[in-house]
Amino acid sequence: MAKKGLRQVDCAGKRTLVRVDFNVPLDKQDSTVITDDTRIRAALPTIQHLVDAGAIVTLCSHLGRPKDAPDSSMSLAPAAERLGQLLGIEVPMAPDCVGDEVAQMRADLQAGQVLMLENTRFHREEKKNDPDFAKALAGDAELFVDDAFGSMHRAHASTVGVTEYIDVCVSGFLVERELEKLPPAREAGGDGFVVIMGGAKVEDKIDAIKMLLPRAERMIIGGAMSWAFFKAQGKEVGASLCKPDSVEAATEILANMAEHIDRLMLPVDVNMLQVDPDTGETKFAPADGIEPGWDALDIGPETRELYGRAVKDATVVFWNGPMGYFEKPPFDEGTVALAQALAETDAYTVVGGGDSAAAMNQLGFEDKVSHVSTGGGASIEFVQGDSLPGVDALDDA
C-alpha cells in the first residue's frame, strides 16, 4: 500500500512531468483573473523541491469542464503567470499539452526550468485515458510526480495513463500528506466513528452513505440532503432544495438499510426563509413543521446541540458537506457550530469536500482539525475504502 514519494528519488537533471491540481476558481467576468490561488500555493513545496534539485519540470493539470475542445476561458495561462510570481522565475505557457511544438518546448528546457502545459481536458482523450494521448503527454519524461490528490479517483490519461510510459512514478508532497493523514478515517469503524454528510446531492454521496453507515456509530445528515430524507419519510419540505434524484436515493437507503437506520441522525429542527411572498422573514421550525412557501436553508438550534454532542463524544470524525446554505448568513450557523464542535473535540478529525474545506478555511479552523483534505470525491472514495486508480498507478515504496 505504501507508495514511493518524491524524497525517495533522485531528481537532479531528470525530465519530470508533474500532475498538479491548478483547477482554480476564475472570475466570472474576467477568466484571466484567479479569485483564489490556494491550490497553486499548495503545490509550491513539490515544485520548489524539483527546481532546487535541478530537475527539468513540465506541469500538467485540468481546469474546469471544457467540452472536450480548447476553450480560452479555461486556459491555464493565468495559473502559469501566478506560479511564476510565487516561484520568482519565468514559467512559460505551452500552447497545448501535446503536439510537436510542445514536445520541442519540453526538449529545450534546462535544469531548474518550469513549463506549464495547457488544460489536459481540451482533449477528449484525457478522460478516456487514451493510450496514444497518454504517451504524448508523458513525452520525454523519466520521472512522474502526482501531486493532484483531488483527481486520483479518476483513471484519466494525466493521472493513470502516463504512468505506463514513465519509468519512475511517485507521489508529490501534497499526495504524500493525504496518504498519511486519511488512513485513520479509512480504517475507523464501530464505536466512536462519526460520519457527517452534508451538502446538496444525496445521489453523489449515496455510495459513501451505503458503505459508511454500517461502519459508523453515527451518521449525521445535514444540508439540503436532509430534505431528501424528509421527503422520503413523507414530510412536507415546502420550497426547499430537494431534487427527485436525491429523494429516490434517500428512499433507497431508508428501505434497504433498515437494520442500520438507527445510526442515521436527521435534523430535528430547521431554519427556513419565507420565499412566497418574499418577505425575507426567517424562522425556526421543528422537522415536521416546514410549510409550503418556506425554504429550509439550515439545521436549527436543537439540531446544532444534538450534532455537537455526537461530535464531542467521537474518537474519529469524517466530515463531508456543509450543514446548510453557509454562503448566506444566517444560514451559516449550523455549519459554523459543527466546525466549532470539530475544532473542540479530542477526536481525530478529517474534513473533505470542496465546500466543507472552504468553510473550514474561511473560519480559520484549518489548523484546529487533524486534516483538511484537498480532495472532494477522492477523499470520500478513499475513506469509504475504495482504492484510487491514481494511487495504485504509482510505484510501491
Which positions touch ligand ADP (CB under 6 A)?
Answer: 199-201, 223-224, 241, 296-297, 320-322, 324-327, 353-356, 376
CA distances from 30 to 23, 26, 27, 34 (A): 16, 7, 5, 9
Beta carbons of 51 and 145 less than 8 angstroms apart: no
Report, in Å, the least distance between residue 13 CB and Mg ion: 41
Rounded Cα gap, residues 199 and 40, in angstroms: 25
- Indicate if 377 belongs to the active site: yes
* Among Mg ion, ligand ADP, none, residue 324 binds (CB under 5-8 Å by kind): ligand ADP
**DSSP states along 262-282:** GGEE--SEEEEEE-SS----E
**C-alpha–C-alpha distance, residues 272 and 294, integer Å:** 6
Q: Which is nearer to ligand ADP, 17 or 42 (CB)?
A: 42
Please work out, in degrees rounded to the nearest 5, the angle formed at the alpha carbon of residue 316 by the alpha carbons of 358 and 320: 30
Does residue 321 interact with Mg ion by CB under 5 A?
no
Distance CA 73, CA 80 (A): 15
**Could you tell which of ligand ADP, Mg ion, none binds residue 345, using a CB distance below 5 to 8 A set by kind?**
none
Q: Which does 241 bind (CB under 5 to 8 A by kind): Mg ion, ligand ADP, none?
A: ligand ADP
Residue 119 C-alpha cell reads as: 488544460
What is d(CA 117, CA 194) in angstroms, rounded to the nearest whole number?
A: 41
Task: Give the nearer residue to Mg ion in terms of CB position, either 139 or 321.
Answer: 321
Q: Which of 139, 354, 375, 390 binds Mg ion (CB under 5 A)?
A: 354
Q: Which stretch binds Mg ion (CB under 5 A): 20-28, 98-106, 329-337, 352-360?
A: 352-360
Q: Which does 200 bind (CB under 5 to 8 A by kind): ligand ADP, Mg ion, none?
A: ligand ADP
* Residue of 354, 375, 376, 390 marked active site: 354
Tell the smallest beta-carbon distance from residue 335 to ligand ADP (Å).
8
Please give the backbone phi and psi of residue 184, each rounded to the nearest 5 degrees, phi first. -55, -35
**Contact partner, 377, from ligand ADP, Mg ion, none, Cβ < 5-8 Å per class:** none
| Residue of 201, 235, 312, 368 marked catalytic | 201
Nearer to Mg ion (CB atom), residue 172 or residue 354: 354
**Closer residue to Mg ion in complex, CB, 287/350:** 350
Please identify which of the residues 14, 15, 19, 39 carries the catalytic annotation. Answer: 39
Nearest CB to ligand ADP, comparing residues 159 and 356: 356
375 is catalytic: no
Least spacing, CB of residue 224 vs ligand ADP, in Å: 4
Shortest Å distance, C-beta 357 to ligand ADP: 7
**Contact with Mg ion (CB under 5 A) among 355, 389, 393, 394:** 355
First to last CA, the chain: 8
Q: Kindly tell me the sign of the dihedral angle through the C-alpha atoms of 151, 92, 70, 128.
A: negative
Query: CB of 63: closest distance to ligand ADP in angstroms?
Result: 17
The per-type count for the chain, helices as H runs and strands as E runs, is 15, 14
Q: Which residue, 223 or 389, is less far from ligand ADP as judged by CB? A: 223
User: How far is residue 393's CA from residue 397's CA, in Å, rounded to a whole number?
Assistant: 12
The yes-or-no answer on residue 39 being catalytic is yes
Grid cell for residue 243: 431534487
Distance, in Å, from the CA atom of 133 to the CA atom of 124, rounded to the nearest integer, reads: 10
Q: Which residue numbers are catalytic?
A: 39, 201, 354, 377
